[in-house]
A and B are shown apart, each in its own frame.
Chain A
Amino acid sequence: MRHVCRAQVVGWPPIRSYRKNSLQQKKNEGECAGIYVKVSMDGAPYLRKIDLKLYNGYPELLKALENMFKFTVGVYSEREGYKGSEYEPTYEDKDGDWMLVGDVPWEMFMSSCKRLRIMKGSEARGLTAN
């Protein structure tokens, strides 16, 4: 009977050194990992993804969304939400609830936002089947 050596073959599959280096780099940069969330917009054909860490606050984020989806978001106020636009930026939090973007401090938002949805005002504000 032929004895087949089952010793582990080291270094297989072959991996180029630059990939090895980048994998190590990613481990080192774990703390700086981005917060990627999906962004959808009512009526848009496909979703996008953004890194929340790229923005310093709500104005920057909203500006980026406006550019991405070619719409205007309106002016935010605590009292009236987003006024002057038929669209409202909303987000799904870790509990699965949909909340209006902008009510909580930015860092709090970043830690609780799971995904974004730019909702058409009629659905966000009006009465929907519950």
Chain B
Amino acid sequence: MDSNASGFLLSPSTFHSVYNQAKQDDGVIDLGLSLRTFQPEAYHPSGHSLEGYGDDLIEWPETNLQLKNSNRRFQGLVEEDVDEEAEGIQSKERWAYVKVNMDGVMVGRKICILDHCGYSSLACQLEDMFVPRLGLRLFQARSEFSLLYKDGEENWRTVGDVPWTEFVESVKRLRIARN
């Protein structure tokens, strides 16, 4: 894992994402769930292309992103993914869109888990998507919100309780719950 570390964390200059801007609060992102990180991990919005990153881009989730952007592939997957779609995820192998609902908000969003490489980038996206609607910071110490996820066994769990890769494999949908 260490040998990949330098390639894993992209330098800000090579990354156009807005999520790589240094946070004013010295880079600490507190989900209010005893989960902290001191460096925002790379967030790659699904709408952006991968051109220009070449071999420097980490192995994962690049492959999955390429498959995700291929609509032709998806058409071949529709039938076999019907059951999983009911859970909010299209085939785990190629797509990983999960529903995100927030208590009190009628309309949910959908995000692609494979766009992220860690909890902090996920938190960044969710803050951007949901916080402006409320006008207050979502993830901070003693936040009135908790981020939960539904796993493969239909249990609601706290986001951050398992390593990221394990989370990606098991997450079925997300919920921002009021405490």
State the A residues within 8 Å of B (CB).
Answer: 78-81, 88, 90, 94-95, 97-100, 103-108, 111-112, 119, 123-130
Contact = CB atoms under 8 A, between A and B. Distances in A.
Contacts of A127: 104-105, 134
Interface of B: 18, 45-47, 68-69, 71, 74-75, 78, 85-86, 88, 90, 95, 97, 99, 101, 103-111, 125, 128-129, 132-134
B68 A105 contact: yes
B129 A79 contact: yes
Contact of A107 (B18, B71, B108, B125): B71
A98 B102 CA distance: 12
A106 B71 contact: yes
B68 A99 contact: no
Contact of A128 (B104, B111, B132): B104
Given A78-B47, A127-B104, A108 B95 contact: yes
A120 B106 CA distance: 12
Given A98-B106, A99-B109, 16 more contacts: A78-B47, A78-B125, A78-B129, A79-B125, A80-B128, A81-B109, A88-B107, A97-B99, A97-B101, A100-B107, A100-B109, A104-B90, A107-B71, A107-B78, A111-B78, A128-B105
Contacts of A94: 85-86
